[in-house]
Amino acid sequence: MPGYFREIAVRMFAKELKESNMMYREDEEQYAPQYVLTPTGAKANRVLISGVLTESENIGLGAEYYKARISDPTGTFTVYAGQYQAEASRFLAEAQTPSFVMVVGKVTAFKADDGKMILSVRPEHIQTVTRKDRDIWILETAKKTYERVTVSEQEEPDNENVKNALEHYSPDFAEYRNMISKALETISA
């Protein structure tokens, strides 16, 4: 097995992850990382998300398997944690709702019966944070998203991920700029 390194977690709003449906591996190796390519050209194996934990329930049959929903100003992330995410499972078992949380996790994909790809996050780390922490996450995520949109809007982007995203999604960047503005409006003074 080649020496894989830990991927950097990409900051991403829920709306962008929800609208993503292009998953791929760069290598045929069994343990090669799986990536999502988003409409703004972000290539992510891991994400850094934050928001309000609105729901956490054990949906496991016989074993603990938690499904949680985390809402940011643009939508909702779905998070699943089971026996291989023991720390996250314990956290979700004891977590108060609603509360502000931050998660670093891997993006996973599930293909529904209708063929639609549904993305979720498998947490590697999850913790309670303050509203201020969540607001800083919104600010930084807005900045990173804006940077990706700006690069994507160039006439001839030289970034291969951006080229592939433009071809696959044909995104409406005015919609993403609007999403960024609305997210920033939710930050407390």
Tens of pLDDT, residues 132-158: 999 999 999 999 999 999 999 988 878
Distance CA 110, CA 117 (A): 6
Distance CA 48, CA 61 (A): 29
| Averaged confidence pLDDT in the chain | 93
Are the beta carbons of 46 and 27 closer than 8 angstroms? no
CA angle 75–80–84, rounded 5-degree value = 150
Q: Phi and psi (nearest 5°) for 115?
A: 90, -10
| Whole-model pTM over 0.85 | yes
Q: Which helix (H) or strand (E) holds 91?
A: helix 86-94
